Structure 1
Amino acid sequence: MIDYQKYIEIIDDWIVNRDTTVVGIFLIVTLLLSGGLGMTATDSGTSQFTENVPAQEAFDNVNDNFERQPFERGTGSTTLIHRSSNVLSKSSILEMLRAQHRLKEDDSQDVVGTNSVAQSVALTVDPNATTLSAQIDAVESAPASVVKQAAQQTLEERPSIAGLLSKDLNRREPSASATIATVSHRVGGTSDSAGTQGTSPLTPIQQEAVFIVGSTGADITVFGSGLISAELQSVISDSLILVIPAAVILILFFLIVSYRDPFDLLIGLICLGMTILWTFGFMGWAGIPFTQMLIAVPPLLLAVGIDFGIHAVNRYREERVQGTEVSTSMRLTTDQLLPAFFIVTGTTVLGFAANGASDLAPIRDFGLVAAVGIVFTFLIFGIFLPSLKHFIDRKREKYNLPTFSIAPIGSEDSAVGRVLTVGVGIARRTPHTFFVIVLLSTAVMGAYGTGVDTRFTTEDFLPPEENPEYFEELPASLAPGEYTVTDTINFLEENFESSESDSVTIYMEGPMQRDYALESIYKANQNPPDSFVSNGRRASATSILGVINQYERQSPKFRQLVQANDIDNNGIPDKNLPAIYDELYASPYGDEARSYLTDDYSKARIVYSVKSDASQAEVTADTRELANDMRFEATATGSVVVLKAVSDVIAESAYISLALAILASAVFLVIAYWIIEQRPSLGIANLVPILVTIAALAATMRYLDIPFNVLTGTTLSIGIGLGIDYSAHLVHRFSEEFRESTTLFEALSIAVSGTGGALAGSMLTTTTGTGVLVLAITPILGQFGLLIALSVLYSFVASVVILPTTLVMWDEAREVSPI
């Protein structure tokens, strides 16, 4: 048997006899770790979640083989959204052409290509107008009736171009209220990803594009991943500016109520500040960037730190009110609390560390940072706080400084104590019936909670389209900026059947010079699935077939070559494909052809438009089924498929982390109580309220339609960490009281009224401090704050109401088989 008491006595000796030295050592470590604060980078994008996901790797292969040809560096695109009474009118077409021309002529944009309905109509007006300036001249010099006829002809000859026009398109009298165009830029780094990048090279380009396009006077909105990235960064900073003051005010209020002594309040605040500083300093030294995921870490550390601080001070006061002197009171406090803190720390660290099993690097980083932060919390509140408290109380006695309050929060005779002992009353009267009800309720909630949805989209991190009304009442220093991205995304989804982000890609590898290669692509586009945009019975798709068709209309010689090799007369060549490719590559359409077929004819891609209102699951399933039906080795990819793959990993991570956390916590608790109390079965009893909390939390998520995402996906393992915090304190206190030959129910009453009082103060402080995240601008942060607050509340209620009955059942089982 390990004699853990001797190690606690060593710590006791340092706390009581060398408090000044301990305080000095911790302050030195604080200075050292604070040096890492300036090294912490920020990564606010969502592309970090797609790294090493197979679908993203396929997407990267597509970009490597197609999007970056024929350019030496990477390319990125900007979307122009034009709104007008009729975007197919002569005046509107000229507005779009002029906007594109201004962007192309501006050196800051580094434009390498443009694509729009306006350009297609201009080419129909004058097939020789191959530049934007020539197209502007062609449309300007043509009568409005000719432009109208050209628009109608373009829609007939190129039906897929309708995807660039709003849903209210009128083909007979060519008109539509909105259209989208694409401008491609040469950029210094990779800009193509299923997510948005934290520091996108497109951000300055697109921010400048806003001013360039705005100067035209047309109603054209600039949109793209660079602007989304910039808004994501603004949302994080604005959310923190809004949430932190509110959290500080609420936490400070409840800490004042809990401590009721300015000296103790100051000690608690110093320790909380040190915990945050140590953790973020560690991140800087370890080179871990601050991401959206890590916004969750400060509330978690505050939750555990507040709990530890209130428990330490409250337990110390229980001794002081009995007249025990300072050093003896502190020894008794640390003797009892250090084992409890160790149990809580061990299980909480295991709960967070279970996220290390995730395939997503940001979730692994979150688990590591949270686990390290909890260890820091244990050291600061388990050793530094008692040392500082002992040092200050000695000085207060020496210099006769006033003592404001030394009364603990709860006692059996107080109103708080009477409320807290309700669970003891239930355990005394009907333990068996109540325990059966608890087990059945947990099973029902757990089964219901398995239906929680999983989602991952860039929109999760963006603000709502309309800010809440209370934003208008905020002072100017706290008021958030104006956000436009969500409004633009909603406009695209409502007005276009598909947008640039609503597309999937089939990436094919194989001998594309084989006679059946193009026929296989043609057949794949027939009878598309329901989630795909279609023109009649054919999918709205872009591929090498479309480029062949375009050049065929422009070149009689090429059309003759295609027809000569079209055996079944369906417009698709069936033989001599290398000669057709060579002729196409040597034409003005060569660059466009290379964006769908590589020079060695070994890789090809087909880009399909999908419906904006189709779910990720539907689109992904349909795309994968289509890829499986290809004659070549084919992979389903594209932004929708990648994001669905990430959401699947999130769900998998959530359940794997939960299972690992429960298993590891159970093993740890059994071993810990075996070493500390020689009662290993107490570890199992300790788990019951936690399982109830997890089941209730999962059921709440499904009821409130809160999905698993990159933040909420961690709440179940977090719930274990925070839940053990509450139940472990009560179980350990009960065990100590029960060990003193007190009767079962006396031990329960003392534990619940004494330690339960500290738990109540901690619960109120933590739920309000973390629950204030609901004020955050982004819904994802609000959902996370709500769930953390609920997990703390559920943990508290389960501990004070359910745990007494659980311990009664444990005692009965122990009498049958004493372990």
Structure 2
Amino acid sequence: MDVQIDAQRYIDAVDHWIVDRPRTVIVAFLLVSGVFALGLGGSGTSSGTSQFTEDVPAQEALSDVNDNFERVTFEPDTGTTQLIQSGANVLSKPALLRMLRAQERLRSNPDLQVAGTTSVARTVARTLDPSATTLDAQIDAVERATPGEIDAAVATAAAESPAFAASLSTDFNARSASASATIGLVTHSLSAETGDGAGTSGSSPLTAIQQHAVFVVDSVGGDITVFGSGILSEEFAAVIGDSLALVVPAAVVLILFFLVIAYRDPIDLGLGIVSLAMAILWTFGFMGHAGIAFSQMLIAVPPLLLAVGIDFGIHAINRYREERVQGFGVRDSMRTATDQLLLAFVIVTGTTVIGFAANASSQLGPIRDFGLVAAVGIVFTFCIFGVFLPAAKVAADDLRERVGVPRFGSQPLGSEESVLGALLPLGVRIARVAPKLFLALLLVSTAWLGAYGSGVDSRFTQDSFLPPEDNPDYLEYFPEALQPRDYTVTETTNYLEERFQTGEEDVTTVYVEGSLTNDGALESMWKAGASPPDSFVVDDGHARETSIVTVIRAYARRDAEFARLVARNDRNANGIPDDDLTTVYDALLDSPARERALDYITDDYTAARVQYAVEADASQAAVTSDTQTVADRFRFEATATGSVVVLKAVSDVIAESAFVSLLFALLGTAAFLVLIYGLLEGRPSLGVVNLVPIAVTVVGIAATMRYLDIPFNVLTGTILSIGIGLGIDYSAHLVHRFAEEYDESADVFDALTRTVRGTGGALTGSMLTTVTGIGVLAIAITPVLGQFGLLTGLSILYSYLASLVVLPPVIVVWARYVDGRDARPGREDAAADTSTDSPATG
């Protein structure tokens, strides 16, 4: 590349402030920190899975379904609370009375804003006494009834309404009138809308109501558990706080341990810690000023900032020490260090920002927020560690020399005499012996790992966000103040799944829009369920469905007059009216079946929902594909939706986001590196060299994910672009240092040895610190954070190893065939693979 820029004049301008006016720099950064501190706590918290389902078409259809078909039973701006009752027999007289009294006490409490209640206890009471329409009257009806009368009422209710058994556990026996569990519902009128998505809500106005409801229900006695979105959101928020309470102290201990080893000087250690704290402060302050809510995904941002900040800090101090041990003064040493490192930091920052910002391409808002916050945080980290830390180091060492405080640990990491210095040139040894053979083997193995890693699964389930049912044993070793609470959400959801799902079927939904009064509209809706796909439950060759058609058929069996109306308009006598549908609908909505009908058709007859039973063990992909197949059969506009379809849609978006962000990160990083090395060094091909270790790292991470059965989810879906963003750090430092050493040395191997010893030591300290600091996320309470911590730690380890082992042979081949130098070891080099020269001064 012919065009080069003179970056030195910009570096000199920054050097002037760092070296000649360090106190001014320190004051300026402290003032900016004060501004960002004002934004702390201003962003709020967002948790749960519902934040990821926004803007997904299937979720929008599900919201329409809920708006149209739940608003009749539950008025607008309402929410529900589940009352989960368990015992030897929840259909016994004492158990029925406990449920009725619990619902009555909830209804009579004005703070709970109860709009309505439903339960099998109310159904049994109305069966005993059809005139008992209030909870008080129903309590009286059950109290007056004998056990035999109650058993008969249970049998009658079960025979008249299939929905009766749906609210009872799978061990329900109508003959003996017994069941071990039931679910009652309480509807609340709210001043704010509740979520109606497929995921769990992270912020619910029901939280305070349901927390209060717990105390009210407990006053009744018996085993009734209060459950709902408010309880969920409260525990999801607690998971964030408890995860941070566990992760942050553990990370601090591990990071401090390795920082002490890396810095070996209390003043340098203090400066590094202050700089790390400042980077996190700025980032969280920015979130507050920008109004970005803190979510589960953003828990990963502080460790990422620590990873880059620790790397920058160790490099800055280590490079400065390289100059000091040669006898140069404070200012001259720092000027030389910043001359070299500022450009390296610019390269690392640019590529890291591109890697993180690539997540802005995601369709999911939380992932976009993560990419934005991480990218901004990296820019802040560059400013703090590239300018503030060196200035603070100059000011501290000036003061140290004036006061006479001794220096500790002044030797740079990776010096030739150290054990680490002997191990770091491993890649250089390979480059001396057989670089082309090594790269050929690397190409074959990387291609194989890439093919294997391409089979990584993509999943989005609530389980990834739920705390464990039983806290892990290792938490007992933490101080009591840091131990998390005993969570109930997972235990409750597991109980519901065990007791209330048959294990044979689940439900999927088709949302239908159009003029449902047209002749033959219902017939065509019914035909869509003929010859159902494999995942659908089949009854006599037809999909098992619940719809306005099944409501019409059921009510016709109970009401003779309505049955005659249906028969008059039924051309083929199959129980489905074909003509004069407006009259049929009007009659149905004027009947006792009104509420049931409005669960499946709107009162203007322009939209309907059809629910199909699907096999419970069918995959999300199969259910989604089959539901779309059935939806395509409707002659109306029909959309496949329902919780399973929504979660699969989010899963698909995550997989797409992972691929697209990886593509953007690779292309953006490649373009940036080629451009920057062309402008700064006149060697754009070094940008391609820089990418090789990163490509190996990304392939290794994908293969590891498949081997460990870790899917792409809302956090791990970002790991490939993050692997680029963090991994480029290691290879960029080495390539930039090599370029400077290469210009000063006629021997490629000498330049490589100086590079890996001078920079590899700092990379090792950075790797050990950040792998343990980020890897500590594995102890987070939610599985998704643990997986993310493990993969991020591995991506850093892989990047470190690839930079030290893979990069030297790549550079040797580049020097031979691209740069045109004689990159072949001489006889003396073949016998000895280490240089006896001191680290270069840069």
TM-score by length of structure 1 reads 0.95
The code of the aligned residue for 1:96 comes to: M
Query: For residue 506 of structure 1, what is the aligned residue in structure 2?
Result: 510
Query: For residue 109 of structure 1, what is the aligned residue in structure 2?
Result: 112
Query: For residue 33 of structure 2, what is the aligned residue in structure 1?
Result: 30
- Tell which deviates more after alignment, 656-665 or 58-67: 58-67
Query: For residue 752 of structure 1, what is the aligned residue in structure 2?
Result: 756
Distance 1:78 1:93 in 2: 18
1:313 paired to 2:324: no
Matches within 5 A, 1:460-499: 460-497=464-501
Query: For residue 10 of structure 2, what is the aligned residue in structure 1?
Result: 7
Query: For residue 453 of structure 1, what is the aligned residue in structure 2?
Result: 457
Distance 2:545 2:188 in 1: 23
Stretches of structure 2 that go unaligned for 5 or more consecutive residues are: 823-842
Matches within 5 A, 1:140-151: 140-151=143-154
Query: For residue 665 of structure 1, what is the aligned residue in structure 2?
Result: 669
Matches within 5 A, 1:573-722: 573-722=577-726
* Change beyond 3 A, Cα 1:406–1:789: same
Aligned residue for 2:669, secondary structure, equals helix
Q: Deviations over 1:218-273 (max 9, x none)?
A: 22222212111110000000111111111101101110110000110111011101
* Change beyond 3 A, Cα 1:39–1:392: same
Superposed CA RMSD in Å reads: 2.3
Q: Deviations over 1:731-785 (max 9, x none)?
A: 1111111110241111111111111000000001001111111111111111111
- The question of whether the paired residues in 2 share the 8 Å contact of 1:241 and 1:478 is answered with yes
Q: Deviations over 1:193-228 (max 9, x none)?
A: 222222201212222222222222222222212111
**CA deviation after TM superposition for structure 1 residue 128, in Å:** 4.1
Distance 2:574 2:181 in 1: 34
Query: For residue 413 of structure 1, what is the aligned residue in structure 2?
Result: 417
- Tell which deviates more after alignment, 797-806 or 623-632: 623-632
Q: Deviations over 1:672-707 (max 9, x none)?
A: 111121111111111010011101111111111111
Which of 68, 72, 77 is 1:69 aligned to? 72
Which of 237, 246, 257 is 2:241 aligned to? 237
- The question of whether the paired residues in 1 share the 8 Å contact of 2:58 and 2:649 is answered with yes
- The question of whether the paired residues in 1 share the 8 Å contact of 2:471 and 2:486 is answered with no
Distance 1:562 1:98 in 2: 41
Query: For residue 187 of structure 1, what is the aligned residue in structure 2?
Result: 190
Which of 25, 46, 50 is 1:47 aligned to? 50
Q: Deviations over 1:472-531 (max 9, x none)?
A: 3332211111101111111222233269x9543221111111232333444445665554
* Change beyond 3 A, Cα 1:291–1:204: same
1:442 paired to 2:446: yes
- The question of whether the paired residues in 1 share the 8 Å contact of 2:170 and 2:502 is answered with no
Distance 1:41 1:410 in 2: 45
The code of the aligned residue for 2:744 comes to: E
Matches within 5 A, 1:272-283: 272-283=276-287
Aligned residue for 1:273, secondary structure, equals helix
Distance 1:92 1:535 in 2: 35
* Change beyond 3 A, Cα 1:780–1:378: same
**CA deviation after TM superposition for structure 1 residue 63, in Å:** 2.4
The code of the aligned residue for 1:47 comes to: S
1:424 paired to 2:428: yes
* Change beyond 3 A, Cα 1:215–1:569: farther
Distance 1:529 1:120 in 2: 36
The code of the aligned residue for 2:320 comes to: Y
Aligned residue for 1:39, secondary structure, equals coil
- Tell which deviates more after alignment, 395-404 or 241-250: 395-404
Distance 2:780 2:706 in 1: 21
- The question of whether the paired residues in 2 share the 8 Å contact of 1:160 and 1:535 is answered with no
The code of the aligned residue for 1:220 comes to: I
* Change beyond 3 A, Cα 1:550–1:205: farther
Aligned residue for 2:225, secondary structure, equals strand
**CA deviation after TM superposition for structure 1 residue 349, in Å:** 0.6
1:394 paired to 2:408: no
- The question of whether the paired residues in 1 share the 8 Å contact of 2:553 and 2:576 is answered with no
Query: For residue 382 of structure 1, what is the aligned residue in structure 2?
Result: 386
Distance 2:654 2:463 in 1: 16
Distance 1:513 1:108 in 2: 43
- Tell which deviates more after alignment, 624-633 or 334-343: 624-633
Which of 771, 774, 782 is 2:775 aligned to? 771
1:787 paired to 2:791: yes
Distance 1:540 1:207 in 2: 38
Aligned residue for 2:654, secondary structure, equals helix
**CA deviation after TM superposition for structure 1 residue 173, in Å:** 4.2
* Change beyond 3 A, Cα 1:185–1:570: farther
Aligned residue for 2:339, secondary structure, equals helix
- Tell which deviates more after alignment, 541-550 or 796-805: 541-550
Distance 2:817 2:293 in 1: 49
Matches within 5 A, 1:262-301: 262-301=266-305
Distance 2:279 2:91 in 1: 61
Query: For residue 561 of structure 1, what is the aligned residue in structure 2?
Result: 565
Distance 1:225 1:5 in 2: 58
Aligned residue for 1:584, secondary structure, equals helix
**CA deviation after TM superposition for structure 1 residue 792, in Å:** 0.7
Query: For residue 834 of structure 2, what is the aligned residue in structure 1?
Result: none
* Change beyond 3 A, Cα 1:804–1:405: same
- The question of whether the paired residues in 2 share the 8 Å contact of 1:160 and 1:541 is answered with no
Q: Deviations over 1:458-482 (max 9, x none)?
A: 2211111111112233322111111
Query: For residue 371 of structure 2, what is the aligned residue in structure 1?
Result: 367
Distance 1:91 1:566 in 2: 47
Distance 1:174 1:567 in 2: 41
Aligned residue for 1:597, secondary structure, equals coil
Which of 804, 810, 822 is 1:806 aligned to? 810
* Change beyond 3 A, Cα 1:208–1:588: farther
Aligned residue for 2:605, secondary structure, equals coil
Q: Deviations over 1:156-184 (max 9, x none)?
A: 44335433333334455443322333333
TM-score by length of structure 2 reads 0.93
* Change beyond 3 A, Cα 1:541–1:161: farther
* Change beyond 3 A, Cα 1:160–1:38: closer
* Change beyond 3 A, Cα 1:629–1:118: farther
Distance 1:42 1:299 in 2: 19
- The question of whether the paired residues in 1 share the 8 Å contact of 2:517 and 2:581 is answered with yes
Matches within 5 A, 1:171-250: 172-191=175-194, 192-250=196-254
**CA deviation after TM superposition for structure 1 residue 136, in Å:** 3.5
- The question of whether the paired residues in 1 share the 8 Å contact of 2:18 and 2:391 is answered with yes
Matches within 5 A, 1:83-94: 83-94=86-97
- The question of whether the paired residues in 2 share the 8 Å contact of 1:359 and 1:653 is answered with yes
Matches within 5 A, 1:501-540: 503-524=507-528, 529=533, 531-532=535-536
Distance 2:167 2:529 in 1: 19
- The question of whether the paired residues in 1 share the 8 Å contact of 2:103 and 2:117 is answered with yes
**CA deviation after TM superposition for structure 1 residue 610, in Å:** 4.5
- The question of whether the paired residues in 2 share the 8 Å contact of 1:163 and 1:498 is answered with no
- Tell which deviates more after alignment, 607-616 or 473-482: 607-616
Distance 1:273 1:282 in 2: 14
The code of the aligned residue for 1:387 comes to: A
Stretches of structure 1 that go unaligned for 5 or more consecutive residues are: none
Aligned residue for 1:769, secondary structure, equals helix
The code of the aligned residue for 2:318 comes to: N
